Amino acid sequence: MPEVLFYDSPYARRCDAVVLSAATGGTKTKPRTQVVLDRTIFYPAGGGQPGDRGILRQEGAEYIVRDTVKGDDGTPVHVLEGASRPTVGAVVSLEIDWNHRFDYMQQHSGQHLLSAALYRIADANTVSVHQGERYTTIEVDRDSILPAQLSDVETAAREVILENRPITSFPVSSDDLVRFPLRRPTSRTGEVRLVEIDNWDRVACAGVHVRSTAQIGNVQTVGSESLRGNLRLVFAIGNRAHRDYGKVRAAALAAAGMFSASIEDLPDRVHQALDEIRTLHGRTKSLARRLAKRTLESGRFAPDRPALLELGNEEDALFDALVRELAEQGFAAACVVNRGSDKVRFAIIAHGGNGLPVQKTVQGVIRDAGARGGGREPLWQGICDDADRLARCFSAAFPTKRQT
Ligand SMILES: [Zn+2]
């Protein structure tokens, strides 16, 4: 079993090692080479923490380590990009992608810190955790937590960060676990790794952590959602919390700028604007209704004659109002077309009655006009490319009876 250095030296960024084996696999277009070394600082993916990435060097040659995974017996396997491989038996030097590693050390440690705060303050037990690329989520066995209590959890976690308490990690035999009360019991046997935040938390965890709480930097609640009767809490942890704050502030400033308002006044201004939009929307609808009524009262149309109304790029509100009026006034057959800038919208109103096959007739009109749409008596709607063709097809199917 190769020597793993990431527990005793989680801050080591470089080390030398001897290549024990190197085998190329993957696919033809995406070959990958798996390398096992006699020692490594690269953490293999596990326990929610992704595998380490970085660079492996040998006499001027550089290999990109895309991932580190666990082999069958738990041996760390370095997954190199490409098919070229270092010489077996040779000494290589490893360099870790430190930003990536430290980020996940912050996530793991921050998660323990928060889980303990949730347990202590909100009586919430952690059921599962996920370290995502943007946020870390903690699922707890509570269906809800009051915002004020969640705020207390956050405040307590930040206090522990400022107190800079040591975080230690050490192996114990599962037989000795009785001497180490855990926040969350473990069923593991044999050698179990424990992680302890001084006077705050102790759990079993095989991940890599920062050395003291100050290194977690910050924790920020982002949101929560209900899940199978539990609550999933979303957090921005570590440097991510600062980046997240920057993004949120920039977005809020941009929005506030549009209203010439301060960020604090933004919710009120957005509320006001939405109210105005709703009022204007209502007014537009009522104006469209009046205009539709007037159009039908112009004398050119009568409910017992097929009506063809052609609009040129009119508002949807007027189109909808006309369709509604035609239906309410009981027009036997009517067609409204609106020539938009890129498409023609149409609606056909038709009543069968007396067993007339109106469904087939209207479907025939839509098909013959090369239009797309559908519906059922008394209303069909859709879009087409050629308004004149649709008008011709409608007039042919519903001819105006000549007055004699
Ligand atoms: Zn951990």
- Please give the Cα distance from 335 to 315 (Å, whole number): 17
Percent of the chain as helix, strand, coil, to the nearest 5: 35, 35, 35
Q: Among all chains, which residue has been given the structure tokens 């090369």?
A: 370
| 33 Cα: distance to centroid of ligand 1 (angstroms) | 29
Q: Which of 56, 106, 105, 46 has the alpha carbon at shortest distance from 82?
A: 56
Name residue 80's amino acid: L
| 108 Cα: distance to centroid of ligand 1 (angstroms) | 5
**Confidence class of residue 355 from pLDDT cuts 50, 70 and 90?**
low
Would you give the DSSP letter of residue 320? H
Q: Among all chains, which residue has been given the structure tokens 């991940």?
A: 207
**Mean predicted confidence (pLDDT) in 146-150:** 95
Over residues 33-68, the pLDDT tens digits come to: 999 999 999 999 987 789 999 999 999 899 999 999
| 49 Cα: distance to centroid of ligand 1 (angstroms) | 8
**Mean predicted confidence (pLDDT) in 340-348:** 91
Helix axes 98-122, 147-162, angle to 10 degrees: 130
- pLDDT at site 60: 86
- Domain ranges in the chain are 3-96, 102-245, 299-397
Over residues 89-101, the pLDDT tens digits come to: 999 999 999 999 9
**Confidence class of residue 290 from pLDDT cuts 50, 70 and 90?**
very high
CATH architecture type of domain 299-397:
Roll (3.10)
- pLDDT at site 80: 96
Over residues 13-30, the pLDDT tens digits come to: 999 999 999 999 888 889
Q: In what order do the strands lie in the sheet with 333-339?
A: 307-312, 333-339, 344-350, 379-384, 372-376
- Whether the per-residue pLDDT at 283 is higher than 70: the answer is yes
CATH architecture type of domain 3-96:
Beta Barrel (2.40)
Q: Which residues line ion ligand 1, judged by CB < 5 Å?
A: 108, 205, 207
Strands (E), 132-256: 136-140, 167-173, 191-197, 201-204, 219-227, 230-237
Q: What kind of fold does domain 102-245 have according to CATH?
A: Threonyl-tRNA Synthetase; Chain A, domain 2 (3.30.980)
**Mean predicted confidence (pLDDT) in 235-258:** 96
- pLDDT at site 356: 65
Torsion of CA 30, 34, 40, 42, to 10 degrees: 30
- pLDDT at site 247: 95
Rounded to two decimals, the pTM is 0.77
| 278 Cα: distance to centroid of ligand 1 (angstroms) | 50
Sign of CA dihedral 12, 14, 18, 20: positive
| 112 Cα: distance to centroid of ligand 1 (angstroms) | 6
Report yes or no: 22 and 34 within 8 Å, Cβ to Cβ: yes
| 289 Cα: distance to centroid of ligand 1 (angstroms) | 64
- pLDDT at site 48: 79
